[in-house]
Structure 1
């Protein structure tokens, strides 16, 4: 049974000859010795898959009656601590926590909500909503409802529901019909019928949407992106554009997000950590490829020049090679 969190284009794979007992002991030594051995921690945690790290977590708990994440939190600090704790967190729980952080406190990080909800599969969303409820005793939908509004809220709730079709079969007839619906809901109408955009863009599979967008161009002589920009606004517009971007090329969408996180004055570690950790076993190789293609330099070199110390070391290990 392959995990829904693992894909063929990750930078991190299962470690051969893996022993949770040996690793748990080595980690304990690295944390509890005189001074922390960050190098040892980094090399163990970045060279094991998440499934293997979960076994280390169990072993650690059984042996030392301590949560590994608590020991890491007690011993490390700052962005380095955040990324190390992320590595020992199960993927659905990690996403649940990221969603919670995006909505906590004053102001909502809409871009983070959009990024997570548009790039996870329906099956992943179901696990995330379960993890969310388990940890926060509140449904993800309730929190989204209280933190967002209008068409943006409706679309987020549809995505959080994990109802996007995942089949790879495409239906030409449906594509023509949906393209016409989108055209009638926007370009061909005085005012816009936002619900129609939400229905088509949040429920159809990505392969299906690709042919729908081709049909749309035939009917309207316009790219769907241009129509969305012309007809819609605000976070709802951002969300639908993100869906179109992901439909066309999810790794390219995430490469753009990483570039935004790494360029300019400060580094956006919240985004950087999330994408690096959550895509390390699915498609980080493709994201690296798209990054180089779009910006002319490698993700590796961007991390190298924008971060420092142990934090940089762990990110570079997750990144894998230079392109």
Structure 2
């Protein structure tokens, strides 16, 4: 989810040119008044506004009607449609915190959700989601990550949680060569693997620099860094490191693959589908759609039409940048 001040050039959801917060608040209230609910009116407003605009609507709704807009919407809606609308209305940090809570509560832990969120968020977003998590849970996110995970995978998550990544675009050629040699020395060139070296480089360098490191690594070893990770690591740690590399190489392709996985096989991973559509619609959904078509020879909105239905489908199509009747 993009915040105020973020460029929306690659998102399908952009600031509304004629945004009228009081008009939107009133229309949402009218959509929920009386018998029945006007779902289309809710979709037209909620799925067409940026998160910053939605937060203003929430405040205006509270001021005008002394009610929580999110609670009112939840009382009127149900199922995946409710989940999608509620997710859109939550502030980005709160939404991520809710997903992380889900990933670690109950029996077992969904490590894929932990990786997807912590690998792909900016330093500021990580700080915001950690604060939101603390406000909603008994323990801090750091404490829960420690208790729910172990080994090198735990160390990877804790390093990502620090939010210490260089977010610039500079590539230091000399350092890239040093980093590639350090990765070689920590993996292919020794008995066993120095996982700490991999974590340090992967969690601190900017993504453009990392792409150069991967090129240097290939020139040094004639081997793709992903193949080294597959050979030298295993389990959840391997999964996490591969996700980091794949996101660094091509963020849009990373999420296009994730979206495909939510809709392939038996059943649909509705929670994952909702999460990715919500968190990327203001960031790079245009690029994700292009990568999806390249990878699978079929448009993202066609997959959505085939896999989901009803009002839930309409929300996703809006976030995809499509009108329902297209």
Task: Specify the TM-score bucket, using the shorter chain as the normaliser.
Answer: over 0.9
Distance 1:17 1:167 in 2: 33
Aligned residues: 322
Residue matched to 1:146:
147
Question: What is the CA distance between 1:104 and its match in structure 2?
Answer: 1.2
Gaps of 5+ in 1: none
Conservation of the 8 A alpha-carbon contact between 1:251 and 1:286: yes
Residue matched to 1:117:
118
Residue matched to 2:272:
271
TM-score under structure 2 length normalisation: 0.96
Distance 2:45 2:77 in 1: 16
Runs of 4+ in 1 over 6 A off after TM superposition: none
Alignment of 1:216-235 (within 5 A): 216-235=217-236
Conservation of the 8 A alpha-carbon contact between 2:103 and 2:113: yes
Residue matched to 1:203:
204
Question: What is the CA distance between 1:5 and its match in structure 2?
Answer: 5.7
Question: What is the CA distance between 1:4 and its match in structure 2?
Answer: 6.4
Any idea what the Cα deviations from partners look like across 1:128-150, whole Å, max 9, x if unmatched? 21222233253211111111111
Residue matched to 2:88:
87
Any idea what the Cα deviations from partners look like across 1:170-208, whole Å, max 9, x if unmatched? 111111111111101110111111111111111111011
Alignment of 1:99-178 (within 5 A): 99-178=100-179
- SS of corresponding position for 1:240: helix
Any idea what the Cα deviations from partners look like across 1:242-284, whole Å, max 9, x if unmatched? 1110111011000000000011111001110000011110101
Alignment of 1:1-323 (within 5 A): 3=4, 7-321=8-322
Conservation of the 8 A alpha-carbon contact between 1:4 and 1:123: no
Conservation of the 8 A alpha-carbon contact between 1:262 and 1:306: yes
Question: What is the CA distance between 1:6 and its match in structure 2?
Answer: 5.1
| 16-25 or 188-197, which deviates more | 16-25
TM-score under structure 1 length normalisation: 0.97
Conservation of the 8 A alpha-carbon contact between 2:186 and 2:194: yes
Distance 1:48 1:231 in 2: 45
Distance 2:138 2:284 in 1: 32
Conservation of the 8 A alpha-carbon contact between 1:5 and 1:124: no
Distance 1:4 1:199 in 2: 30
Any idea what the Cα deviations from partners look like across 1:115-173, whole Å, max 9, x if unmatched? 11111112221222122223325321111111111100000011111111111111111
| 61-70 or 268-277, which deviates more | 61-70
CA RMSD of aligned residues (A): 1.5
